Amino acid sequence: MLLLSSADRSVARFGVHIACQVVRERDFRVIGRGTLDVSLTGMLVQCTYDAEIGDEVIVSFKTGRDEYVDAVGIVTRRMEGRRRGDLGMTMGITFTSLDDESLRALARMLELAPVVTKRAPRLDYAREVMRIATT
């Protein structure tokens, strides 16, 4: 499984806050009910129950055009929500199965959505140490 940092993402994320249902597949427990951002390849979800990285989930939500998106995904990131500014426990979900109709509905929904700004580029610590050492 390939995990990317937020700075290395190649797909745009959109600030879409919608009601959704994220169900953990192994016990069919609803673990999430709202998105913080969505992309064509996954989403960040506010969670009410915990899940482990690697857990398979079923995601379902309604777009603004009365279309439904149903997908299977995997939990690829977990944030406990302990830092200042966090909105509680969240899970990053990567879609592993999304049918063509759901993908088109998702793309139509994201056409007008605001893009989440990228984070600042990563600091090259080795270069910074060298810069400080030569100063």
Q: pTM here? A: 0.69
Q: For residue 61, give every residue at least 6 positions away whose Cβ sits within 8 Å of its Cβ, in sequence order, or none.
A: 18, 19, 20, 21, 35, 68, 69
What tokens appear for 59 in the block? 């995601």
Q: Is residue 109 part of a domain?
A: yes
CATH number at residue 62: 2.40.10.220
Q: What pLDDT, in 10s, does the model give residues 114-125?
A: 676 555 566 788
The list of the chain residues with pLDDT below 70 reads: 1-15, 81-87, 114, 116-122
Q: Is residue 53 part of a domain?
A: yes
> What is the C-alpha to C-alpha distance for residues 70 and 55, in angstroms, rounded to an integer?
17
Phi then psi for residue 25, to 5 deg, are -70, -35
Contact of 72 with 63, CB cutoff 8 Å: no
Q: Is residue 27 part of a domain?
A: yes
To the nearest 10°, the Cα dihedral for 59, 61, 63, 67? 90
